[in-house]
Amino acid sequence: MHTPPYILIPTAIPVEPFREILPDCQLIYPTNEAFTDQEVLQHLPQCTAMVSIFGRKITAGMIDAAPQLKIIANYGAGYDNVDVQHARDKGIIVTNCPHPVTEPTAELALALMLNVARRVSHLDAALKHGKPLRWGTMQNLSNTLWGKRLGIVGMGAIGKAVARRALAFGMTVVYHNRKPMSPADEKQYHATWLPLHELLSSADIVSLHVPLTSDTRHLMNRITFEQMNPTAILINTARGAVVDETALIEALSNGTIAGAGLDVYEDEPQIPPAMLKLDNVVLTPHTGSATIETRIEMSQVVAQNIRAFIDGMTPPNMVS
């Protein structure tokens, strides 16, 4: 009798798309929020496919514990949580899930910009918790996005989605990639390429949209913060380690930059206590793609990647 492929889904994500797309597979799925690492290691030896989730490292040890593993399907666009090189050495395919996360992550980036610039969370907390707050024409002032310059670092799909929204808010857009976009793309997004140091020194808001690599780790550090304007705002919805958090706390505390909106952190879910005490930073718990609709669509895309592999085809979102 044919043994169905076993698919390990270690975290309680929407499972119905997997049932619909992979009806001939045996799904191993937690009844609570997530399997423990020990439970994952117990299930792995029989699995053909594994779904990896950001925040949980897929280490060389886990991969070695799975002799039948053929594909790691990442539930998210970034896949720095997976030891891709070790998977490649073992002949294991790695896929990601880029498209569903684009629009919601861009939405959150704009939400953080608005929140920090217009001091929404700060004023909301003051009203709700009885902090001293004066009402008046020249009280509680903030800054508009209209007419401001947005510097996008990483003009990929999410960066472009942010640019579209920024244009609707009356902002001008400059960007930095390793290589400039085509003239047609620059015209479409009304965007101008700048060297990173020029972008940092001229932008009112800097929004990060780069993957975490050896080149981008601590891209934002004490030196680059000093290149920014003292009125500038930093937004990070990319990966936490793109920013040196110690340097950012210093920059926010001493007025090197005016504020920040962060959805990602160097050591998630830990956030430095000094960061939590700052009034000029808005924090969210890695929720860039955390909408109900997006989570369902992500499950669909991940299941489709696994389906393609099982059917002998190249998965549509293969990264290794």
Instruction: Return the active site residues.
Output: 239, 268, 286
Taking the CA atoms of 102, 284, 213 and 319 in sequence, report the sign of the dihedral they define. negative
Residue pair 260/274 in contact by the 8 Å Cβ criterion = no
Residue pair 13/53 in contact by the 8 Å Cβ criterion = yes
CA angle 213, 218, 224 (to 5 degrees): 130
CA distances from 146 to 89, 168, 172, 257, 281 (A): 50, 9, 9, 19, 21
- Calpha distance 85→320 (Å, rounded): 8
Widest CA span in the chain? 78
DSSP assignment of 155-220, as one string? -SHHHHHHHHHHHHTT-EEEEE-SSPPPHHHHHHTTEEE--HHHHHHH-SEEEE-----TTTTT-B
Which residues lie below 8 Å from residue 219, measured CB to CB, with a gap of 6+? 153, 208, 210, 242, 243
Token pair of 186 as six digits: 């620059």
Token pair of 157 as six digits: 């799909």
Alpha helices, DSSP H, located in the chain: 16-21, 37-43, 60-64, 84-89, 102-118, 120-128, 157-168, 183-188, 196-202, 222-227, 245-254, 273-276, 292-310
Token pair of 254 as six digits: 């001493």
Entry field: residues in the chain: 320
